[in-house]
Structure 1
């Protein structure tokens, strides 16, 4: 499973970073950075929570 972001929707609220900082990060310009590659199985449930928690609906999971 992979996670992606629609940068036109992301407003850098940081909910995803708080839930899964190993995958999500905000850079110095408040732009969301997502670790590349597949999520580890232990990261899938928190990533799903991060997608749901995003106030702008900017995150997506894909297989």
Structure 2
């Protein structure tokens, strides 16, 4: 698959390095690193969503 992407870019005059750099810059503007870190903390500090008592799961399995 990678070969076809490279070949497509070559045939259409697309510079993959510049395109990737632009995409990364856009993603950094849209999703700043600070918000990703706080989102990760809020997920890891939250309570587990699966209740073993409610669904009858045994912890030894």
TM-score of Structure 1 vs Structure 2, range by shorter chain: under 0.3
TM score, norm. by length of structure 1: 0.25
Greater gyration radius: 2
Higher strand share: 1
TM score, norm. by length of structure 2: 0.25
Higher helix share: 2
- Point out which structure has higher relative CO (alpha carbons under 8 A, 6+ apart): 1
